[in-house]
Chains A and B, each alone.
Chain A
Amino acid sequence: MPDLLIELFSEEIPARMQTRAGEDLKKRITDGLVEGGLTYAGAAALTTPRRLTLAVEGLLAESPTIREERKGPKVGAPDKAVEGFLRGAGITRDQLEERDTPKGAVYFATIEKPGRPAAEIVAEVLEATIRNFPWPKSMRWGGGALRWVRPLHSILCILSDETGTQVVPLEVEGIASGDSTEGHRFMAPGRFSVASFEDYAAKLKRAFVVLSPAERAEHIWNDAQNLAFAAGLDVVEDKGLLAEVAGLVEWPVVLMGEIDAEFLDLPPEVLQTSMKEHQKFFSVRNPKTGRIERFITVANRETADNGATILAGNQKVLSARLADAKFFWENDLRVATSDMSQWTDALENVTFHNKLGSQGDRIRRIAALARELAPVTGADADQAEKAAKLAKADLNSEMVYEFPELQGLMGRYYIEAAGEDVAVAAVAQEHYSPLGPSDEVPTASLSVAVALADKLDTLTGFWAIDEKPTGSKDPFALRRAALGVIRLVLENGLRLRLDRFFDSQLVRAESAIHDALPSENVEDLLQEIARHGVFGAAFRAVREKTGDLQAAEFLSLEERVPDVSDDLLSFFHDRLKVFLRDEGIRHDIIDACIAMEGNDDLNLLVKRARALNAVIATGDGENLVQGFKRANNILTQAEEKDGVEYSFGADAKFAETESEKTLFAALDAAQDRIAPALEAEDFPAAMSAMAGLRAPIDAFFEEVQVNTDNDIVRRNRLNLLSQIRTVCSSVADLTRIEG
């Protein structure tokens, strides 16, 4: 069985596209081969900056012959029908076979698709793959029409087995296949022929090309670590950079250089970012001082001077880059230590969103909310306001303009340099967190207050202008913001009613959107919300105070704010369901808890959900839910029929049966345990008391007919069911549990 080797040799392929391109080549070729009837034992794709290579082992030498039998019209059917059948089957009349069937004589055709040699199939599949390759970006070159990521120069395509090697003939836009390739561009120019994959890989290595990206990466990482280790230093690990660098070289040569002493006092993150982004250097750290002191660069060749010229050149370029960074750093520090309002003032002229005003407007809203949130997180309100006002100042620093990924971190350095409290400075860096599901959640009370305010402002702002995420579109990363709030609240165990903060921040957003809103009314309203904790009462209070004379814009808030606020809360509930799904908590369990009072207190909600989930997971819990539903159904039907609500006065003295009496006693006992448990928000204890009702409820339904002829007994039993309903609904709305 032959092996197949394909190499598509081109000008330099962008590093970030190589891995994917290797996978695409493998998938498209092997899918095509299998479709053409050629099975294979194994396939591997390898890439370098100039080549995509695919090695397929143990390919069938030819595709198997396929026989297909087709049933045709009856013997004696009209000629037209027979001819149609012949056309469809691609055979002639004399090839037809007559066979007797229970329904009479029928024509049969046997269609034979003869096997084809592998070379033919490979050529077709490869040509189609080249012409339709899914590059993220492709181009034309010269006078041709073919598209490739960069000009394609040669196609190597051979089948080899113990008897020898055969070029698979094909031609794509003037590029004919062959059995040759090139070595390293500078160290071993010139073409050579290969006979098999082993031969190819060995000859490439002699021609200074390491074919495997994994091998190049490993080589780079080992050499980098050895060089650093020998100097008593550590390489800062960066897997993304390693993969990228491995995609920029065919023959990696690792060199370590020094960073000029005048730059060593720059913040390590600045050195690291500048070296990585501009030069693709690894940072080398002194483990004793924590400072970045050297760099590792990876050249694509060996030289007679052992890389001395290359290293000197890189060092020089780095110095020019770092001179820029140092210039930014020093200028920024000058601003930070003299008057940072230069930056914060400039944010007034930066648009955040054309409906929601400038960054300056936004920062004021965040600062106001941070003040309100400070008592919840345990922070000082004045400090929270101050920290919020400074947290985004660095957006106007020169360093962040140059390296946007350093936003926040630079703010922290600059605010500290300005002599502010370190906790205030830390807010600049931490208030953006958590950015992703694996990002850490801040815990410092000031940072938590501002981080919450920042995200809640974003959410309420975009909700107020009706720019909500739809389907896969979430351009303002609002889902991420909501998840951030959820994690900040849960992981810090914060107890707060979100609703109130939604309302006040929505009012602030409305005031940014509608210039016509009188600012004194807005201020009054915000104060009343802070006092009452609910929007409706606050709105009425302002209205009573000032009469009905407010602007129409203000009056329209009465309905709009609660509507938008409710909608935002249900968005949070949806995100919470997604978040808790990872814990294995079903959405209906969460729904049952959302139906309870206080569902904007996320910690309370999650406590309920976890307790309910734990009980449902047991047999008692599952049966309790069944018992509850049965009681509830009987009760609801009776209530509908009788037009009354049975909610009072079940009396044990009308109990006729033993199980009825037991249930009375059990309910009383459970209630005695549940009430204090609820008081203490000890939902697991409440739920376990409830689960204890399972047996008496089951026994009751086993023995007792609720709807008896004796009206007094019937009413008493319905009232007893009502007691079950009340007790069982004290933690969650069990009617929402599915199944």
Chain B
Amino acid sequence: MTDQTSAPRSFQEIILRLQTYWASKGCAVLQPYDMEVGAGTFHPATTLRALGSKPWAAAYVQPSRRPTDGRYGENPNRLQHYYQYQVLIKPSPPDLQELYLGSLEAIGIDMDLHDIRFVEDDWESPTLGAWGLGWEVWCDGMEVSQFTYFQQVGGHDCAPVSGELTYGLERLAMYVLGIDHVMDMPFNDPQSPSPLTYGDIFKQTEEEYARWNFDVANTEVLLRHFEEAEAECAAILAQEHDDPKTGKRIVMAHPAYDQCIKASHIFNLLDARGVISVTERQAYIGRVRALAKQCADAFVQTGAGGYQAAAQ
């Protein structure tokens, strides 16, 4: 099935080929984070692991939600729930561009026939307090990936610098498979006994979520959840570093960061419900960013974040 020289036949084959490819390049193939996020960057395997000095290499699919992009499954390119493929390698290897181009070949893009371009596009996430320089990668005029050298995350300088690759899987797959409407894309092998299209799996959920996101989600409850997540994040981070029960140093960066993720997604939902004014918007983004910064501050106090106790 993963005959790398032939053209892939389905959405899932493209994902599998990427997994195989990046595994062969030494990445730990992780699973999606089990929370609602707006992009693969929010996975702690990227946000938090980009911090500190320890080497890291991970690749994973991340289901992502952008409530405002919902179009009831009718728009050929827009979805409120979609997949990103994310690669993060720290420190960024000198041949990261070549590695990336290899991944395009792995999914059946023939470098001799296509025009691949690296076009300036600096990346910034105001909610994560993160930015980097890089490109959007064009294949025949279409943006197929985002390629970023992280410079700062959560207000901390990245040293060493991580290289981040993000593939918008549906768009990339539609291009490789020659599909015009996302719902028509074969999800599994179209020759299999029960062929399923993307629409068979997601048309109905796109409708359901679009309705809920835009018209039904209880904004009072959401506003309360936002406040609660914010308060819980602060409460977690306010704990002593040393656990009074075990006596061990346990800085709870990840549980706190979960609350930051939660707040961020709730903000996106509130935005889709249209209850956030232009001026309030900035204030909400600032509040999420403040959480992300505190979580980053906490993470660098952990072992995974490179912390070493002075006595050891």
**Residues B111-162 near A (CB distance < 8 A):** 111-120, 122, 132-135, 139-142, 149, 151, 158-161
Whether, in the assembled complex, A132 has its beta carbon less than 8 Å from a beta carbon of chain B, the answer is no
Whether, in the assembled complex, B91 has its beta carbon less than 8 Å from a beta carbon of chain A, the answer is yes
A299 to chain B, nearest CB (A): 4
The verdict on A304 contacting B133 (CB below 8 Å), with A15-B120, A317-B140, A320-B77 known, is no
A138 to B149, CA, bound (A): 11
Whether, in the assembled complex, B76 has its beta carbon less than 8 Å from a beta carbon of chain A, the answer is yes
> Given A139-B149, A142-B160, A304-B112, list of 13 further CB < 8 A pairs?
A11-B97, A12-B119, A141-B92, A141-B163, A142-B91, A142-B93, A151-B94, A297-B141, A305-B113, A309-B113, A310-B115, A313-B115, A316-B142
Contact among B97, B141, B279 for A279, CB-based, below 8 A: B141
Q: Is the CB of A309 within 8 A of B160?
A: no
The verdict on A150 contacting B133 (CB below 8 Å), with A141-B149, A300-B115 known, is yes
B207 to chain A, nearest CB (A): 19
Residue-wise, chain A 86-115 has the 8 Å CB interface mask toward B (1 for contact) of 000000000000000000000000000000
Whether, in the assembled complex, A140 has its beta carbon less than 8 Å from a beta carbon of chain B, the answer is yes
Q: How large is the interface on A (under 10, 10 to 19, 20 to 34, 35 or more residues)?
A: 35 or more
B95 to chain A, nearest CB (A): 10
Q: How large is the interface on B (under 10, 10 to 19, 20 to 34, 35 or more residues)?
A: 35 or more
Q: Is the CB of B112 within 8 A of A317?
A: no
A151 to B98, CA, bound (A): 13
Which residues of A sit under 8 angstroms from B307, Cβ to Cβ? none
Contact among A151, A297, A301 for B149, CB-based, below 8 A: A151
Q: Is the CB of B120 within 8 A of A16?
A: yes
Which residues of B sit under 8 angstroms from A142, Cβ to Cβ? 91-94, 160-161
A354 to B198, CA, bound (A): 47
B17 to chain A, nearest CB (A): 20
A297 to B139, CA, bound (A): 13
Which residues of A sit under 8 angstroms from B118, Cβ to Cβ? 11-12, 49
Contact among B77, B111, B116, B159 for A140, CB-based, below 8 A: B159
Q: Is the CB of B132 within 8 A of A139?
A: yes
Residue-wise, chain A 1-31 has the 8 Å CB interface mask toward B (1 for contact) of 0000000000110111000000000000000
Whether, in the assembled complex, A303 has its beta carbon less than 8 Å from a beta carbon of chain B, the answer is yes
B120 to chain A, nearest CB (A): 4
B100 to chain A, nearest CB (A): 11
5 closest Cβ contacts across the A-B interface?
A313-B140, A14-B120, A12-B118, A314-B141, A143-B160
A49 to B116, CA, bound (A): 13
The verdict on A137 contacting B94 (CB below 8 Å), with A248-B117, A317-B142 known, is no
Question: 6 pairs across A/B with beta carbons < 8 Å?
Answer: A140-B158, A143-B159, A149-B133, A299-B115, A304-B113, A313-B142
B70 to chain A, nearest CB (A): 16
Which residues of B sit under 8 angstroms from A281, Cβ to Cβ? 141
**Residues B10-33 near A (CB distance < 8 A):** none
**Residues in A lying within 8 Å of B, measured CB to CB:** 11-12, 14-16, 49, 137-143, 149-151, 153, 186, 248-249, 279, 281, 297, 299-301, 303-305, 309-310, 312-314, 316-318, 320, 323, 351
B172 to chain A, nearest CB (A): 12
B218 to chain A, nearest CB (A): 24
Which residues of A sit under 8 angstroms from B238, Cβ to Cβ? none
Whether, in the assembled complex, B278 has its beta carbon less than 8 Å from a beta carbon of chain A, the answer is yes
Contact among A151, A249, A303, A351 for B112, CB-based, below 8 A: A303
Contact residues of A: prevailing secondary structure: loop
Residue of B nearest to A304 (CB): B112
The verdict on A153 contacting B120 (CB below 8 Å), with A142-B161, A305-B113 known, is no
A186 to B92, CA, bound (A): 22
Which residues of B sit under 8 angstroms from A318, Cβ to Cβ? 141
A323 to chain B, nearest CB (A): 8
Which residues of A sit under 8 angstroms from B140, Cβ to Cβ? 309-310, 312-314, 317
Residue of B nearest to A257 (CB): B141
A371 to B279, CA, bound (A): 33
Pick the most buried of B92, B116, B140: most chain A CB atoms within 10 A of its CB.
B140
Q: Is the CB of B151 within 8 A of A310?
A: no
Pick the most buried of A141, A299, A300: most chain B CB atoms within 10 A of its CB.
A141
Q: Is the CB of B114 within 8 A of A139?
A: no
Contact among A49, A140, A304, A314 for B161, CB-based, below 8 A: A140
A539 to B125, CA, bound (A): 54
B196 to chain A, nearest CB (A): 24
A49 to B119, CA, bound (A): 10
The verdict on A186 contacting B161 (CB below 8 Å), with A142-B93, A313-B140, A351-B278 known, is no
Q: Is the CB of B117 within 8 A of A139?
A: no
Which residues of A sit under 8 angstroms from B116, Cβ to Cβ? 186, 300
A16 to B151, CA, bound (A): 21
The verdict on A303 contacting B133 (CB below 8 Å), with A142-B161, A318-B141 known, is no
Q: Is the CB of B161 within 8 A of A141?
A: yes
Residue of B nearest to A139 (CB): B133
The verdict on A320 contacting B76 (CB below 8 Å), with A140-B151, A313-B140, A313-B175 known, is yes
Pick the most buried of A142, A149, A150, A317: most chain B CB atoms within 10 A of its CB.
A142
A143 to B91, CA, bound (A): 6
**Residues B138-196 near A (CB distance < 8 A):** 139-142, 149, 151, 158-161, 163, 175
A454 to B158, CA, bound (A): 48
Which residues of A sit under 8 angstroms from B113, Cβ to Cβ? 303-305, 309-310
A349 to chain B, nearest CB (A): 8
The verdict on A137 contacting B133 (CB below 8 Å), with A153-B94, A304-B112 known, is yes
A314 to B140, CA, bound (A): 5
A320 to B171, CA, bound (A): 12
Q: Is the CB of A301 within 8 A of B115?
A: yes
A328 to B99, CA, bound (A): 39
Which residues of A sit under 8 angstroms from B77, Cβ to Cβ? 320
B208 to chain A, nearest CB (A): 24
Which residues of A sit under 8 angstroms from B149, Cβ to Cβ? 139-141, 150-151
A370 to chain B, nearest CB (A): 28
